[in-house]
Structure 1
């Protein structure tokens, strides 16, 4: 009596596998939204170009230390999509992040925002392909000065510009540095090396000679 049961489960299992293949084929297409960030040469501002889908409101906010929404002061906000021009209305509640409202649909939101402490981060409600372009005035290769969240692919080009990319992530963080910071770091390391030599290594050698 069990053999017929197995025969019935075979087609059902095959149908389930087919359904999973179809679902997996559809999900990447639905999750292939992109977010591009370009740090400007002075390092104090960045341009964001973010794809959004099936929404009617976009909020300009960052994530605070405790996970709270922190307002971001933006400028040169642009909305593009299947409309020309794409119209939106501002919504600014006291103490809350500002936002724009528009007809529900799929769009690309672009804006300028300030950058603090050479650190750029972002969070999303669904997986995004994230691309951060860093100008030649900055670098991310020194792990003592830079910080990059997991899953990133870093590319340094011949013109000394850098791109940092994440594939399907819901959050990212990148901290970069300038040549002046790297010089200060090497000076500090050299100074610490001299201190160790004078205060530890030389006294140890002298004490060993006395013992002999």
Structure 2
């Protein structure tokens, strides 16, 4: 197996993603994301598939109370695919080895406005002709991506216009007073 890679595809409705993660020389894979304090937070997953030099590849679920769910299998090189929910338009992952990470964001969402989006450092953002976006990180131990919908962007612009009107109303008496003095 060459360089390890992880591919994530965000669903058009933004509520879930499909992941395909290469793993090498391991016998266990945990379904977790990094919490606020760096702790492992369990992720509910579905449609889990393990593929490699086996047909079919079998695995056992392990879901001890209070710990993250995991699958176990004979030690080797595999690709784990699964579907997991998204919260607050945010996707993140942490790896124990450097990964080539690719995230596909559908045309319904965007990442270009820094007031609404967040992309961890080292990312290469590519806007495709169908208005979808691909974000990649090379040799990354982790990534964090926050994206937004067109509706969120429109709300931001309405809010900024409202702030501009309020500022104008508050500054107008001051400007008029300065003109009368001058």
TM-score clears 0.5: yes
After superposition, the C-alpha distances for 1:109-141 in whole angstroms (9 at most, x for unaligned) are: 000000000000000001000000000100001
3-state SS of 2:110 partner:
coil
- What displacement does 1:54 show? 0.2
CA distance in 1, matches of 2:100, 2:125: 14
Query: Aligned residue pairs: how many?
Result: 182
- What displacement does 1:58 show? 0.5
Equivalent residue in structure 2 for 1:199, among 167, 170, 180: 170
Aligned to 1:17: none
Could you say which structure has the higher helix fraction? Answer: 1
CA distance in 2, matches of 1:134, 1:205: 46
1:121 aligns with 2:92: yes
CA distance in 1, matches of 2:111, 2:38: 25
- What displacement does 1:209 show? 2.2
Aligned to 1:107: 78
3-state SS of 1:193 partner:
helix
Map 1:1-212 to 2 at 5 A.
32-200=3-171, 202-212=172-182
Taking structure 2 as the reference length, the TM-score comes to 0.98
After superposition, the C-alpha distances for 1:39-80 in whole angstroms (9 at most, x for unaligned) are: 011100000000000000111111110111100000000000
CA distance in 2, matches of 1:62, 1:147: 17
Unaligned runs of 5+ in 1: 1-28
Cα RMSD after superposing both structures:
1.0
Poorly superposed stretches of 4+, deviation over 6 Å: none
CA distance in 2, matches of 1:188, 1:104: 54
Higher relative contact order (CA 8 A, sep 6+): 2
Could you say which structure has the higher strand fraction? Answer: 2
CA distance in 2, matches of 1:63, 1:209: 57
CA distance in 2, matches of 1:135, 1:146: 14
- What displacement does 1:208 show? 1.1
Unaligned runs of 5+ in 2: none
